[in-house]
Amino acid sequence: MAQKKAHEVDSFLKRLDRAYPIVLLYGPDKGLVSERADLFIKLTGLAKDDPFAVIRLDADDVNAEPGRLSDEANTISMFGGERLIWVRSAAGQKGLTDAVGFLAKNPPTDTFILIEAGDLKKGAGLRGIVEQSPSAMALPCYSDDARGIDGTIDDVLAKNRLQIALDARNLLKESLGGDRLATRAELEKICLYAYGKERISIDDVREIIGDVSAVSYETIVDAMMVGNIIDFTHAFDRVIGTGSSSFLVLSAAIRQFQSLQTLRYGMENEGKNASLAVTATRPPIFFARKKLVETALRHWTTQSCARAIERLQRTVLESRRNAALAVPIIRQSMIALAAEAARGARNSR
């Protein structure tokens, strides 16, 4: 089985393994998928912006014309040397899956196939094809846990030749982890703020993440999850109006949906109702939020939580690529999720 566990991926990407010319990066953390795709390209030694060496394809285009992937993979470089076919936005499209299946059995020479995908089901479709092939490797990309966040903090600080106080690190970690690109962006912002210093203090962290407390972010996300569009709009505009980062709101939303998804999974597989699921949560949910979380659990299923997380991950990337429009992009995405929750509330009556 050609696959790695989540904690093994970073080690695999420390050197290029030519035994696996086909590499699939997949998972709900689109920022991490994108970051690791860049890392893999660097390992190949090919210039990312060289149109003769790196061929970019959209998964839907390959799906419509499956033979194109094989044609590109077996085309000889105009100037000789290796090539990379970079397929993005894969979601298990059948035409793409068939094309990758053919190449997995007939791997190209002097050509790498890199595929970026969202969260894929185990053993099915595109992921199943790659995992079962001896010439392909599947690499999962999941949102950072505490150890992953610490590693990212250490990496960014080392590059900027900075240290951080323990209390500052602990406060910083509370605002990070929803998406790898968002995490790095916040860390780079803090390093820029602390330029000229040797050590980042807790006051530096408080200053750069804004004076809006985590409770304010919860207010925004809670209103969104239960479909209260008016409260969401007021809370979002108020918090953003203070100068707080809109990306921190996104990060909070992703974490809340991940927690909600875990609770829903318990309800759907263990026969618990919303009240029992909330009561059994460890650490316990703050008493003032219990009723609200119970309400949200009735509006969202495991699958709809997964779709919401995926949408928020896409929003992170879109807002990063269009920084000038980040706030309206994030606002519109979260309003759409609030509207979905409102529809769920109406349908459950």
The better pLDDT of the pair 320, 77 is held by 320
| Cross-strand pairs, 84 | 54, 112
DSSP labels, 16-40: --TT--EEEEESS-HHHHHHHHHHH
pLDDT value for 266? 81
* Distance linking the first and last C-alpha atoms of the chain: 47
For the ranges 182-191, 199-208, 284-293, 307-316, the lowest mean pLDDT is seen at 284-293
Place of tokens 């499209």: 93
Instruction: Give phi and psi for 25, each to the nearest 5.
Output: -105, 120
Task: Decide if 68 contacts 57 (C-beta within 8 A).
Answer: yes
| Cross-strand pairs, 25 | 116, 139
**pLDDT-based confidence at 53, cuts 50/70/90?**
very high
Distance (Å, rounded) from C-alpha 155 to C-alpha 229? 39
Using CA atoms of 141, 299, 312, 216 in order, give the dihedral in degrees to the nearest 10: -110
**pLDDT-based confidence at 114, cuts 50/70/90?**
very high
* Segment holding 199, helix H or strand E: strand 199-200
Structural tokens at position 341: 């929750």
Place of tokens 């500052």: 168
pLDDT value for 211? 39
Using CA atoms of 61, 66, 71, 77 in order, give the dihedral in degrees to the nearest 10: 40
Task: Decide if 114 contacts 25 (C-beta within 8 A).
Answer: yes
> Is 204 a residue whose pLDDT tops 70?
yes
> Is 77 a residue whose pLDDT tops 80?
no
| Other Cβ atoms within 10 Å of 33 Cβ, number | 26
pLDDT digits (tens, 9 = 90+) for 150-163: 888 999 999 999 99
Cis ω on the peptide bond leading into residue 51 (within 30° of 0)? no
Q: Is the dihedral of CA 62, 64, 66, 72 positive or negative?
A: negative
Q: State how far Cα 202 lies from the chain centre.
A: 27
Give whole-number Cα distances, 57 to 61, 87, 114, 228, 337, in Å.
7, 5, 10, 40, 30
pLDDT digits (tens, 9 = 90+) for 262-314: 888 888 887 778 888 888 777 667 666 788 889 999 889 999 999 999 999 99
Residues in the chain: 349
Q: What is the mean pLDDT of residues 241-264?
A: 83
Distance (Å, rounded) from C-alpha 96 to C-alpha 104? 12
Q: Rg of the chain over CA atoms, in angstroms?
A: 22
The better pLDDT of the pair 255, 208 is held by 255
Structural tokens at position 197: 């210093």
Q: Look at residue 198 and give its three-state secondary structure.
A: coil
Among the listed residues 30, 33, 82, 92, the one whose alpha carbon sits nearest the alpha carbon of residue 59:
92
pLDDT value for 213? 42
* Segment holding 276, helix H or strand E: helix 274-279
Between vectors from CA 328 to CA 322 and to CA 334, what angle results, nearest 5°?
Answer: 110
Among the listed residues 133, 348, 231, the one whose alpha carbon sits nearest the alpha carbon of residue 115:
133
Distance (Å, rounded) from C-alpha 119 to C-alpha 105? 24
> Is 182 a residue whose pLDDT tops 80?
no
**pLDDT-based confidence at 207, cuts 50/70/90?**
confident
| Cross-strand pairs, 86 | 56, 114
| Cross-strand pairs, 54 | 84
Q: Which residues of 309-348 are buried (b: 16+ CB within 10 A; e: fewer)?
A: bbbbbebbbebbeeeeebbebbbebbeebbebbbebbeee
For the ranges 15-19, 175-179, 324-328, the lowest mean pLDDT is seen at 175-179
Task: Decide if 341 contacts 296 (C-beta within 8 A).
Answer: yes
